[in-house]
Structure 1
Amino acid sequence: MLNAVTQGFLVGLSLIVAIGAQNAFVLKQGLKKQHIFWICLVCALSDSLLILSGVLGFAQIMIQYPAVVQISKFAGALFLIVYGAQHFYHSFKHSAVMQESSIQKQNLSELLLICLALTWLNPHVYLDTVVLIGTVSTQFAGQEMAFAAGAITASWLFFFSLGYAARWLQPVFTHSEAWKILDFLIGVVMWSIAVSLLI
């Protein structure tokens, strides 16, 4: 069982550490120190549900009904294009030095909706967590749930570490140029993922 948990943890961590739309969002909110706990919680819970779905056999349903992935692909690409454009706009917009007190506060419900969209409209998430983790879990006959527990643990550890460790970079982001560069890089990530979904 320990081997299954360890392997699940390593597989889960290897899939989640790649820079993606969801991770970039968590990083930025961590830097802004806005509703970090709730955002990390939503991301971790979403990943947990997706991982459990894969281990419990929903990967086969997705393979049989590829239209679900196709719909998610186009909806996700459209969302990422719009969201990326907003970041490009902010990266070129003139602003004063961004002190913590001057950062615009965003509504929690608005942020959670963006977080859910970045998670559930991204077909890469389904392919990684549902299909791939679900497929690998079949190698641990009788210990699939232990494998899932390891992958879920990796997800929770990663998101909360990313969200709360981001504040260590806060001194760098007292300069408006740092925020502009971050917004530009996030825009590049969003549009790159959108392009990869459409081609």
Structure 2
Amino acid sequence: MLESYLTGLLVCGGIIVAIGAQNAYVLSQAIRREHHWWSAGVCMTSDILLFTLGMFGVTAALMAMPEALEVLRWLGVSFLGWLAVQAFIRAGRGRAALEAGGETRKTLKGVLLTTLAVTLLNPQVYLDTLLLIPAVGAQQSSAPGFVAGASSASVIWFGGLAWLGSSLAPVLSRPGAWRVIDGVIGLMMLAIALQLAFSGL
């Protein structure tokens, strides 16, 4: 049980860190202090559900419908490209400094919907959570232990991003810092979109 848990924690932790779109969005919301814990919670919940579904047979159904992944691929390219453009526009125009405790700029509904889109429109998420992770989990002595470890990795990672970003908000509240942040986020989103478009799945 413990060995399966630790395997899930380490393997899935490494995979989650590599899914850049979710990480960039949660971190940017945390730095802005715009419903960042809700955003992190959506990512955690999505990961846990997908890990569990993958371990209980959704992988086979997904393999039977490869065209679904292709549709998700191009939806993901379009959405990530749009996020990149928005970030570059913000970087070019600049923005007012973030005021601690100030009014949020986005609604909770908007943040939740965007977090879901960043998560569910990225086909790499499905490849990792429904194909790769179950393949590793199937080799473990305890499937529940493995899923628990994978889920813990998601909670620790996204919780850490939300906490770190909000803690750095006062330091990164200057307009010049925002330009750099938005520029980096734009580059990350664009790189992921281009990788999906040209390298496929």
TM range (shorter): over 0.9
- Equivalent-residue separation in structure 2 for 1:103 and 1:91 (angstroms): 21
- Equivalent-residue separation in structure 2 for 1:4 and 1:159 (angstroms): 22
- Aligned counterpart, 1:111: 111
- Aligned counterpart, 1:59: 59
Counterpart check, 1:149 vs 2:148: yes
3-state secondary structure, aligned to 2:34: coil
Offset at residue 103 of structure 1 (A): 6.8
Q: Which moved more, 1:165-174 or 1:116-125?
A: 165-174
Contact 1:32 1:103 survives alignment (8 Å): no
Counterpart check, 1:179 vs 2:190: no
TM-score of the superposition, structure 1-length normalised?
A: 0.94
Counterpart code for 1:136: V
Alignment deviations for residues 3-45 of structure 1 (CA, whole Å, 9 cap, x no partner): 0011001111111122611111110111111212211111100
Offset at residue 94 of structure 1 (A): 3.7
Q: CA 1:148/1:95 → structure 2, altered by over 3 Å: closer, same or farther?
A: closer
Specify every segment of 5 or more residues in structure 1 that has no aligned partner in the other structure, as ranges. none
Offset at residue 57 of structure 1 (A): 1.9
- Equivalent-residue separation in structure 1 for 2:135 and 2:111 (angstroms): 32
Counterpart check, 1:10 vs 2:3: no
- Equivalent-residue separation in structure 1 for 2:108 and 2:172 (angstroms): 22
- Equivalent-residue separation in structure 2 for 1:94 and 1:41 (angstroms): 29
Identity %: 36
Offset at residue 104 of structure 1 (A): 5.0
- Equivalent-residue separation in structure 1 for 2:64 and 2:170 (angstroms): 50
What is the correspondence of 1:1-199 to structure 2 with a 5 Å cutoff? 1-18=1-18, 20-100=20-100, 105-141=105-141, 143-199=142-198
Contact 1:4 1:140 survives alignment (8 Å): yes
Q: CA 1:138/1:94 → structure 2, altered by over 3 Å: closer, same or farther?
A: closer
3-state secondary structure, aligned to 1:166: helix
- Equivalent-residue separation in structure 1 for 2:94 and 2:36 (angstroms): 27
Q: CA 1:29/1:152 → structure 2, altered by over 3 Å: closer, same or farther?
A: same
3-state secondary structure, aligned to 1:17: helix
Specify every segment of 5 or more residues in structure 2 that has no aligned partner in the other structure, as ranges. none
RMSD: 1.5
- Equivalent-residue separation in structure 2 for 1:117 and 1:185 (angstroms): 20
- Equivalent-residue separation in structure 2 for 1:103 and 1:84 (angstroms): 24
- Equivalent-residue separation in structure 2 for 1:97 and 1:53 (angstroms): 42
Q: CA 1:137/1:95 → structure 2, altered by over 3 Å: closer, same or farther?
A: closer
Alignment deviations for residues 85-107 of structure 1 (CA, whole Å, 9 cap, x no partner): 00000000044444336675210
Contact 1:91 1:180 survives alignment (8 Å): yes
